Amino acid sequence: MKIKQIIIAGTLLVSVTSFAQKNELKALKKIYAKEEIKGDDLAQYKLLINKVEPLAVEEGDKVYANFYKCMLPVIESLSIDKTMAPLQIQMAILKFLNPKAISDLATGLNATLDYEKKTGKKIQTDEINETIKSFKPDLLNYADALGKQKKFKESADVLYSIYQLDKKDKENLYYAANYAIEGKDYDKALLYYKELKAVNYTGEGTNYIAKNKATNADESFSTKEQRNNLVTLGTHILPREEKIPSKKPEIVRNIALILIQQGKTEEAKAAIAEARKENPDDVNLITSEADIYLKSNDISSYQRLINEALAKNPNDADLIFNLGVTSANAGKLDEAEKYYRKVIDVKSDYINAYLNLADLILKPDAKLVEQINKLTNSPKDSKQFDVLKVERQKLFNKALPFLEKAHQLDPKNDVVKSNLKSVYGFLEMTDKIKALKAE
């Protein structure tokens, strides 16, 4: 008999709690439905959120309790006095917006949409879609502002939340990944890049461009019609189109590079190999694979892949230059010199090729100096000193034209000027030193 009484009492307690909870949800809904929410209504709304959340037991009640909670920043922003100056309004909105609140908003709204889709009852669906459409521009502006403040991780979080709210706009996921890289949040960047790969995002498209007659600057438009309308109105001239290349090679490359940084070299190689099966002739993917082997210190594989890329694009100065660098690092100086000279043939103003070629020519000088330092004042060593000095002069004279060319290309480059001054000094070219100092 006592046991039955306990059971009945327990049932009454649950019923009372459920009833109270239902009433509070109704009260929340009533306030939420008002055209304007401010003052006492806002205070009551916050109080009800805190009361109803711990009481929610059923799935639907939990979903809607969370919905009203996650919408609080939106409601607070709507309650701002719109007669204030625009800057004041913006500052007031920022009090309610932060990456966590936006993340909670995305999670709460999506959970509500999923629940209403499952139950077939569109109670808040239309309202949610309207909220996303209305607030998306403000959220994008907020993400942009965070990026400009170099708060890259926070900007990435906000952009990812915006993507969660509108998955049709995959570009926000791409920029979230890029900002995560900037913020050195490699785990999230990898997650975002993998999702981009899974949804087959390429970013390909067309930029519709025309020159603004008033500013004389080019402007981009998302649609041809939008651009053509302005050209017809006469505000813009010189319409043209630019193809936006696929970002897929960059995405795959970044996945591989992050995996390498995490010590997952084999997984990185597998990722790039998979991408190359789809696009075997893509030079960007070939060079990305080469980067993987370079970072894992497999120089022979790196050079093989760079040469493969060069066969497809023989006049790519950057590729040839990189071959020179890796050949030099591997101690293959003759090979490196050949590549640097080829760079100059292909692109005569490639300043780093001149600098590296001069450095390559002067490499034996360290050994000559070491030999000179071991000499004594004996007649035999004095003769040897003269021989070594002549050898050094030959090296400096051979390197001089490349440094002078580099200086000609970039007269304000301090590294070039410093190296040139050292060479002039050894060759006792005092007039040249004076002229260099006078610049």
pLDDT tens, residue by residue, 292-316: 888 778 888 888 888 888 898 889 8
How many Cα atoms sit within 13 Å of 53 on the Cβ side? 11
What is the per-residue pLDDT for 170?
95
333 pLDDT above the threshold of 70: yes
What is the Cα–Cα distance from 165 to 282, expressed in whole angstroms? Answer: 34
The predicted pLDDT at position 19 comes to 36
Report d(CA 347, CA 329) in Å as an integer.
22
Report d(CA 305, CA 141) in Å as an integer: 42
**Six-digit token string for 388:** 């070594």
Averaged pLDDT for residues 339-344: 94
Selection from 149-153, 366-370, 377-381 with the highest mean pLDDT: 149-153
- Position 419 scores a pLDDT of 86
Whole-angstrom CA distances from 56 to 17, 115, 365, 368 are 9, 15, 80, 83
**200-226, pLDDT tens digit by residue?**
999 998 999 999 999 999 999 989 999
| Residue 37: how many other CB atoms lie within 10 Å | 17
**Residues found in the chain:** 439
Average pLDDT, whole number, for the chain? 86
Inter-helix orientation angle 283-295/248-261, to 10°? 10
Residue 197, pLDDT score: 93
Helix (H, G, I), strand (E, B) or coil at 388: helix
* 347 dihedral zone (left: phi>0; alpha: psi -120 to 50; beta): beta
State both tokens at 425.
């000094």
> Exposed, middle or buried: residue 333 (CB in 10 Å: 0-12, 13-18, 19+)?
middle
CA 249/CA 178 separation, integer angstroms? 14
The tens digit of pLDDT for each residue in 155-178 reads 999 999 999 999 999 999 999 999
d(CA 387, CA 199): 68
Output the pLDDT for position 358.
92
For residue 209, list its beta bridge partners: 220, 240
Sign, Cα dihedral of 422, 423, 426, 427? negative
Contact assessment for residue 270 and residue 238, using Cβ atoms and an 8 Å cutoff = no
